[in-house]
Structure 1
């Protein structure tokens, strides 16, 4: 007899549970509509999704990737900033072990031009460090050098060298990818191990995330959605290519499939990876960001939710956890620059009547 539901998802693959045919049909139709609406900002050429509830689980796919290959529920895509939930969780594990002080300056652990303003580890996790995001001109310069060498491996220090915006005083919210590059360096400096090694050992392996790839130390496992990224050139086994995957390893380097992302949401936010007290700190706050966690308040139909969005020019993704409903939903779009929040809202409209 096969177990289903939230408890079972911690033991078996999300695709291993049997679902009522009408439920599967409704959710598949919702994915098919996303593909049918691909000309809209809320549509996409291809989509995968995974749902975990206390009573049942479901995963599905519709459409194709950028080169016309049909998607499967287990097709890996770049999930961009969902990576930040892993980095934040690892920092919290180091806090639990007494190796990191959340309220110590990050310069205690990382020496860099961007850590001289006294911002704490907690402030970097919460996007209130005063370290701005890369500027448009920074990204333009990065595109030029990536296009010249798309298979190059970048170090975190090399990536941070392209951050040119002046660092301000800590305390004001400002979404910052460089903050998470610095947090990745913190993890490496404190543990003495490469970031991917630590995330695999401490998080992915215990959580049973066999199809998560921490690029560029790891390559996505097939099947993987192909991209047509103008700066990357021919496919090189990474999403979208090794240069981009490595320079954004700590802030946006993860590649995974929808069942893996949903499973991670359940493992992390329902207290199977971290003690509940540390999870509570990650989801605390009445703004838009906790610690490595986006706070969505009641933006989506089932109610209060949190998780993270992943946005890139290649793929868009969204992980949502609804604690009051014990519901986790992961949605991955095989197309970038789409309004994934709107896509998710439409999918949840179809899902909500099935939640009993």
Structure 2
């Protein structure tokens, strides 16, 4: 198991604003949007065939690092939407556009958005030490909430030996529910002074604890109420507080054993809930990207803080300055699991999600090839 692995735009309208709701952390968004709402009209069949052909080629190239045995993809913009599928999952089941996969670290975009809503509501200070909200041995170095969001907290990622011990525990009880504290107990590398970028999943497990302590509600409940429901995401599951809806892309993770309805199993889903627990289909991921980064689910001023025009990582957001023509610059997140690889890229008023029912793949190259087919349809 190896789970873990800004755009500069001219705003055409005033940003939305958020008001605090009656429940802890609850918000609603009002006002004019900087970008149009996502379209609901399907792409014309002749044009859709060109995108389907691009997916078919990904499967035909499955022997390459950029190919895959199965792929789903979705595109959302303000003129049309499209989704498609090709190939099969790890056990040979044909994929559909609505097949859910474990999208791993794309989860971080939800956790970051929720933190920003709590900041807007005056419940969290981005520049306060995270220890203000979460008391833990990993929060004793004075790192701020912002530094945890931007992977500069000094909290290390799990070491290979940590993963090995975790794998043994999962294999012994794949249906067990893990608490965040139980998962964090496996992080044995020393904490260092904050300030230097280092990608680390425990950052977001601590942020998940922050959300639960500040709101007094389970993480899945909060993310559903404040983000997924307002964004209209019916096929996102915040595991293991929620169970994914079929169809599911099964995998063959050796530590998990037979399928148990979670992706890849309840133990893995729960121990990584705030860092990599999301399961969703490609249309859901693409729609979320459009809703989030174009100010339709949190106010645009909060989005601007998540996507600074500098560096390679914002707040819970990967910054892609040069990788993905024609969507330049762009932002989003990758997700990696043993049998599922995912990538969300948002830019130029377009959101694109690619989910591969395969692991250890060069999904950036896959996305680049898909965007070459997509580009003529955006003009």
Deviates more, 1:113-122 or 1:48-57: 48-57
Look up the match of 2:24.
none
Q: What is the SS of the residue equivalent to 2:247?
A: coil
- CA displacement, residues 7-31 of structure 1 (integer Å, 9 cap, x when unaligned): 5637x5xxxx332222111100000
Look up the match of 2:343.
318
Look up the match of 2:30.
none
2:159 aligned to which of 121, 135, 153: 135
Look up the match of 2:314.
290
**Is 2:212 aligned against 1:204?**
no
- CA displacement, residues 50-104 of structure 1 (integer Å, 9 cap, x when unaligned): 0012221110000011111110001000000000000000000000000000000
Provide the rounded CA distance (Å) in 2 between the counterparts of 1:151 and 1:39: 33
**Is 2:153 aligned against 1:153?**
no
Provide the rounded CA distance (Å) in 2 between the counterparts of 1:176 and 1:19: 39
Q: What is the SS of the residue equivalent to 2:105?
A: helix
**Is 2:358 aligned against 1:329?**
no
User: Gaps (5+ residues) in structure 2?
Assistant: 1-34
Provide the rounded CA distance (Å) in 2 between the counterparts of 1:60 and 1:170: 43
Deviates more, 1:144-153 or 1:48-57: 48-57
Provide runs of 4+ in structure 1 moved above 4 Å.
none
- CA displacement, residues 282-327 of structure 1 (integer Å, 9 cap, x when unaligned): 00141110000000102111121100000111200000001xx211
Provide the rounded CA distance (Å) in 2 between the counterparts of 1:267 and 1:234: 35
Displacement of 1:112: 0.4
Q: What is the SS of the residue equivalent to 2:74?
A: strand
Displacement of 1:197: 0.4
Please say if residues 38 and 77 of structure 2, whose CA atoms lie closer than 8 Å, have aligned partners that are also in contact: no
1:58 aligned to which of 62, 82, 89: 82
**Is 2:38 aligned against 1:9?**
yes
Matches within 5 A, 1:63-212: 63-212=87-236
User: Gaps (5+ residues) in structure 1?
Assistant: 1-5
**Is 2:377 aligned against 1:354?**
yes
Task: Tell me the TM-score normalized by structure 1.
Answer: 0.95
Displacement of 1:45: 0.5
Q: What is the SS of the residue equivalent to 1:347?
A: helix
Deviates more, 1:176-185 or 1:280-289: 280-289
Provide the rounded CA distance (Å) in 2 between the counterparts of 1:247 and 1:53: 34
Count how many residue pairs are aligned between Structure 1 and Structure 2.
344
Provide the rounded CA distance (Å) in 2 between the counterparts of 1:350 and 1:157: 45
Displacement of 1:270: 0.4
Look up the match of 2:268.
244
Q: 1:126 to 1:285 in 2, by over 3 A?
A: farther
Displacement of 1:198: 0.3
